[in-house]
Structure 1
Amino acid sequence: MIGVAMLSLSATAARAEGIPVAYDPQVITACLAAKNGPARSACIGLGAAHCMTVDNAGSSNAGMGFCFGAERDDWDSRLNAAYQTVVAQDGKMDAELQELGSAAPPQVPALKEMQRAWIAYRDASCTYEMSTWGGGSGAGPAGSQCEMQLTGAQALRLIARAEQLEGDTQ
Structure 2
Amino acid sequence: MKPLAAAGLVALLAIPVHAGDASGFDPAAIDQCLEGAVTQGARADCADAGMEACLTYTRGKYTGDDPDFPMANCLDASHQAWEAQLTTLYEAALAAGGTPEGLREMERSWIAFRKALCASAGVGKEGGDLAHARCLRNETARQAALLMELGPQE
TM-score (norm 1): 0.65
User: What letter is aligned with 1:29?
Assistant: D
Find the aligned partners of 2:72 and 2:42 in 1 and give their Cα distance: 26
CA RMSD of aligned residues (A): 2.3
- Does residue 1:139 correspond to 2:143, yes or no? no
Gaps of 5+ in 1: 1-19, 94-106
Find the aligned partners of 1:132 and 1:34 in 2 and give their Cα distance: 38
Paired residue for 2:95?
88
Which structure has the bigger radius of gyration? 1
Paired residue for 2:80?
73
- Does residue 1:160 correspond to 2:149, yes or no? yes
Cα pair 2:23 2:77 within 8 Å, conserved: no
Paired residue for 2:118?
126
Taking a change above 3 Å as real, the CA distance of residues 55 and 78 of structure 1, as seen in their structure-2 partners, is: closer
Gaps of 5+ in 2: 1-21
Q: Which has the higher helix share?
A: 1
SS of residue paired to 2:50:
helix
Cα pair 2:75 2:133 within 8 Å, conserved: yes
Find the aligned partners of 2:59 and 2:90 in 1 and give their Cα distance: 35
Specify which of 48, 51, 59 is matched with residue 48 of structure 1: 51
Find the aligned partners of 2:119 and 2:107 in 1 and give their Cα distance: 18
Greater relative CO (CA pairs within 8 A, separation 6+): 2
Paired residue for 1:108?
100
Find the aligned partners of 1:32 and 1:63 in 2 and give their Cα distance: 24
Deviation at 1:55, TM superposition (A): 4.2
Q: Give the % identical residues.
A: 27
User: How big is each residue's C-alpha offset from its partner over 1:22-42, in whole Å with a ceiling of 9 and x where there is no partner?
Assistant: 11112112212222354322x
User: What letter is aligned with 2:91?
Assistant: Q
Deviation at 1:56, TM superposition (A): 2.1
Runs of 4 or more, structure 1, over 4 Å off, are none
